[in-house]
Structure 1
Amino acid sequence: MLASDPGTNQSVEKAALILSAFAGGRLLRVSDVAKHAGLGQSTASRLLATLESLEYVERDPVSALYRLGPALITLAGIAVNQNPAHRQARQPAQDLAAALGLGVNVAERRQESLFYLCNFEGRRAPRSFALMGQRNPLHATGLGKCLLLGLNPAQRRTLVPHLHRYTPYTITTHDELDHAINEVAIRGYATETEELALGRACIAAPILDRAGSVVAAISISGPLSTLDLAEREALLAGTVIEVADSISVGLGYLVPPHVPRTHPPRQRELDS
């Protein structure tokens, strides 16, 4: 729906609604876009034609359906490169994915969701799509549990009043979530086993800024059998904490010298 604030520009709002219609990742007809945006088909058609001329959308040469265009890739690249956490985390995350052969993700919190800044796939955890720019729930992910560290229980209940169940293993009560986040604070890392999707697991650690605030998190993820947290949790926890610390230092955080750090295991231990 269009905003009623007289200070807003409805043409810009309409264009934004048109572009948001493609968030589901499908190619769309004009009628699909019009329905999503709540616009007449002729209005949607004119706006799509304008956006196409600017390369914000384009038409598939075979189906003639619309999809997002290359101009948005340019802007997205610029936007993510301006993010300090992304700049510091990108190379360490890429190196970690290559070393472990697993997926490595970096995310920050945007309102009630986690927002992926980058993701890299290892040879043992391939994906057919990029996670960058996508969102996931905070309560059902290791990354999200780390990102909730900076909030107290009352703030968490206000931010996410209802904890949706995604699998039989999803945390669905705030008492359970409080307990899980307390564990993250004590251990320095979070785990997630099939809470968001069956057959998947991850282990994550928070990334801190100069002030010691949680600004992002990094995770190692992959198929449940490949990650094998039952046998390798300590090894992977040491690794993800060490990488998170190095990114935090790059953001200006000074790791307290009296806090013992878990050193990353040798590569042959991780490969075993």
Structure 2
Amino acid sequence: MTTAQESTAPVEAGVSAPVQSVDRAITILELLAREGESSVTEIAAGLGVHKSTAFRLLATLEVHRLVEQINDRGRYRLGVGNLRLAGATTARLDVVSEARPVTRQLASETGETVNITVRSEESALYLDQVAGSSALQSHNWVGQRIPLHATSNGKVLISELSEEELDAALPHLPRFTDHTITSRSGLLEDLAEVRRLGYALAVDELEAGLTAAAAPIRSHHGDIIASMSISGPTFRLTQERLDETVPLVVSAALEVSHRLGWGRRS
């Protein structure tokens, strides 16, 4: 599957200051991870900045619970917010780990490229990819982002959002081809069909000549946390071919969901 080329904007004047602040904040987290706890004075010395600068950085990190003060001792340690970030990363790694043997099997059975994606703000993010034997080229899209409304993976990831959540996730519906859904009513209708069928299709919606089919991967709570898809040229993934391969995609995604604990049978 391909994705729209990301635009590159010139660096604006003054951008170095916030980047420096981010670098210093990360250094604080690394320092606390290494030392266990430190005072403002020690942190300032480690950064090579004035105590007031270190204090402002710590105050910002504290708001996000990435650091916390130890009682009234004026010393800081890592906060519980880091556990939330680590948990999110672990969850994604779990999906890739559990899905890998299944995606390899699906790629072997269909001959098509298999992708695993998760939602990342207004995009779908590639976590893993396995190329099938019929793939025309082996371009690795891991780490790339694709539109939610114009791809089968994206449609799956937003299929169970409320209308309010959908508005927040997709304030705009840009057109990529003549087949891209660009109206809110059209998208809602399409997502209702995704919920009814249990899978999503995207035919020539992101790129002319590209077809994909995706199914949801659910957590042990039943929430959609990722999607699995096959993709290939439209001339090969005809309706007849989709009728054969879509059940395989749905079955594979269900297997990964079971591996993650959803509807696990004893």
For the aligned residue pairs, the C-alpha RMSD in angstroms reads 2.5
Would you say 1:85 and 2:95 are equivalent positions? Answer: yes
Match for residue 160 of structure 1 among 158, 167, 170: 170
The CA distance in 1 between the partners of 2:26 and 2:253, in whole Å, is 39
* Gap runs ≥5 in structure 1: 14-78, 257-272
Would you say 1:175 and 2:185 are equivalent positions? Answer: yes
Higher RCO (CA < 8 A, seq sep 6+)? 2
Structure 1 residue 252 displacement after superposition: 0.4
Q: Once the two structures are superposed, what CA deviation does each residue of 1:178-213 show, in whole Å capped at 9, x if it has no partner?
A: 111110100000000010011110111000000000
The CA distance in 2 between the partners of 1:128 and 1:254, in whole Å, is 35
* Correspondence for 1:9: 23
- Shift of the 169–88 alpha-carbon distance from structure 1 to 2, 3 Å rule, reads same
Q: Once the two structures are superposed, what CA deviation does each residue of 1:138-172 show, in whole Å capped at 9, x if it has no partner?
A: 00000000000231122111211110101111010
Match for residue 248 of structure 2 among 231, 239, 242: 239
* Correspondence for 1:204: 214
Q: What TM-score, normalized by structure 1, do the two folds share?
A: 0.64
The CA distance in 1 between the partners of 2:16 and 2:263, in whole Å, is 46
Q: Is the Cα–Cα contact under 8 Å of residues 189 and 241 in structure 1 kept in the other structure?
A: yes
- Higher Cα Rg, which structure: 2
Identical-pair percentage: 34
Q: Is the Cα–Cα contact under 8 Å of residues 110 and 245 in structure 2 kept in the other structure?
A: no
The CA distance in 2 between the partners of 1:167 and 1:174, in whole Å, is 17
The CA distance in 1 between the partners of 2:161 and 2:186, in whole Å, is 15
Q: Is the Cα–Cα contact under 8 Å of residues 125 and 223 in structure 1 kept in the other structure?
A: no
Structure 1 residue 81 displacement after superposition: 9.7
The CA distance in 2 between the partners of 1:196 and 1:165, in whole Å, is 8
Matched residue type, 1:133: G
Matched residue type, 1:108: V
Would you say 1:195 and 2:201 are equivalent positions? Answer: no
Q: Once the two structures are superposed, what CA deviation does each residue of 1:82-111 show, in whole Å capped at 9, x if it has no partner?
A: 611111111111121122111111101011
The CA distance in 1 between the partners of 2:91 and 2:220, in whole Å, is 19
- Specify the SS of the correspondent of 2:253: helix
* Correspondence for 1:252: 261
The CA distance in 2 between the partners of 1:207 and 1:233, in whole Å, is 19
- Shift of the 6–233 alpha-carbon distance from structure 1 to 2, 3 Å rule, reads closer
The CA distance in 2 between the partners of 1:241 and 1:3, in whole Å, is 48
Which contiguous aligned blocks of 4+ residues in structure 1 show a shift greater than 4 angstroms?
Answer: 2-7, 10-13, 79-82
- Shift of the 6–179 alpha-carbon distance from structure 1 to 2, 3 Å rule, reads same
The CA distance in 2 between the partners of 1:111 and 1:96, in whole Å, is 28
Matched residue type, 2:258: V
- Shift of the 247–147 alpha-carbon distance from structure 1 to 2, 3 Å rule, reads same
Match for residue 125 of structure 1 among 125, 132, 135: 135
The CA distance in 2 between the partners of 1:197 and 1:185, in whole Å, is 24
Q: Is the Cα–Cα contact under 8 Å of residues 131 and 138 in structure 2 kept in the other structure?
A: no
The CA distance in 1 between the partners of 2:229 and 2:199, in whole Å, is 9
The CA distance in 1 between the partners of 2:219 and 2:174, in whole Å, is 30
The CA distance in 1 between the partners of 2:182 and 2:213, in whole Å, is 20
Q: What TM-score, normalized by structure 2, do the two folds share?
A: 0.66
The CA distance in 1 between the partners of 2:218 and 2:23, in whole Å, is 37
Matched residue type, 1:249: H
